[in-house]
């Protein structure tokens, strides 16, 4: 291997690097939106479900009516007892109205969407379409939350400033596997977002993910060492 070939190879690498940097700059100027998705199967303490069952039993009409009548000892009319029962049940009825009839246990599939604008211009009209309806919370870069009252499968974010981020939490009452297998669409005024799905790994895959930068560095050093050996080895054979 001659120095001329090495020089040409280095020049080629330099040209490719310059082109990559230029393309990256153009990509950033276009207002590139990157989205990372992280799914999780949520679990809740069994004590919570047990307390919900106990509260449900204590707030039944029959128990409340009997308790109020025992305290009143006939001093209240039937209509007054009915009104007291209604007042006692009202907070519970509001707390466990749709979609929380069973508390939180029906919303065990969670999704976190992290949006980041890597470009130098604002990303406008961000539209997220979910596979099924879910309870949504949207937080902008300033920490302000937008929480729709009803479940939805459409999320609109007016704009994300350059270098800014936005985060979306979704809680589904659908099955975990159903949500994972279905597609999620994230688009904006200038095109589609670069979507990355995060998933949890264990064992060897987790080790590789943790030390990815070190492994890439070792690979680069190994390739450089092989190139040096390939360059020096023919010279040694010719000298012999």
> For residues 49 and 138, what is the distance between their CA atoms, to the nearest angstrom?
27
Q: pLDDT at residue 67 above 70?
A: yes
Q: pLDDT at residue 119 above 70?
A: yes
- With beta carbons less than 8 A apart as the criterion, state whether 185 and 129 touch: yes
pTM (2 decimals)?
0.64
Model pLDDT, residue 27: 47
Please tell me the number of Cα atoms within 13 Å of 64 on its side-chain side: 19
pLDDT digits (tens, 9 = 90+) for 162-208: 999 999 999 998 888 778 787 899 999 989 999 888 765 455 555 55
CA gyration radius, the chain: 31
Would you call 64 helix, strand, or coil by DSSP? helix
Share of the chain above pLDDT 70, in %: 74
- With beta carbons less than 8 A apart as the criterion, state whether 199 and 192 touch: no
167 forms beta bridges with: 114, 139
- Strand 194-198 vs strand 33-41: parallel, antiparallel, or unpaired? parallel
Q: pLDDT at residue 3 above 50?
A: no
Q: Burial code of 166-199, b = ≥16 C-beta within 10 A, e = fewer?
A: bbbbbbbbbeeeebeeeebebebeeeebebeeee
Structure tokens at 45: 């303490």
Model pLDDT, residue 25: 47
123 forms beta bridges with: 160
Length of the chain measured in residues = 240
> For residues 155 and 159, what is the distance between their CA atoms, to the nearest angstrom?
12
- With beta carbons less than 8 A apart as the criterion, state whether 110 and 42 touch: yes
């Amino acid at each position: 291997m001659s120095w001329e070939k090495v020089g040409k190879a280095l020049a080629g690498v330099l040209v490719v690097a310059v082109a990559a940097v230029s393309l990256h700059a153009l990509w950033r100027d276009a207002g590139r939106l990157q989205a990372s998705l992280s799914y999780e199967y949520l679990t809740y303490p069994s004590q919570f479900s047990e307390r919900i069952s106990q509260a449900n039993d204590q707030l039944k009409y029959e128990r409340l009516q009997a308790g109020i009548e025992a305290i009143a000892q006939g001093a209240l009319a039937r209509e007054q007892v009915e009104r007291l029962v209604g007042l006692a049940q009202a907070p519970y009825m509001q707390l466990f109205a749709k979609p929380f009839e069973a508390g939180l246990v029906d919303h065990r599939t969670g999704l976190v969407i992290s949006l980041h604008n890597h470009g130098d211009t604002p990303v406008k009209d961000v539209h997220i379409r979910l596979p099924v309806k879910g309870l949504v919370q949207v937080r902008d870069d300033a920490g302000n939350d937008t929480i729709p009252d009803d479940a939805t499968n459409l999320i609109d974010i007016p704009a994300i400033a350059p270098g800014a981020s936005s985060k979306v939490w979704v809680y589904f009452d659908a099955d975990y596997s159903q949500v994972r297998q279905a597609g999620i669409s994230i688009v904006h005024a200038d095109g589609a977002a670069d979507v990355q799905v995060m998933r949890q790994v264990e064992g060897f895959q987790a080790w590789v993910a943790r030390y990815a930068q070190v492994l890439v560095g070792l690979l680069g050093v190994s390739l450089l060492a092989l190139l040096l050996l390939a360059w020096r080895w023919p010279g040694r054979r010719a000298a012999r």
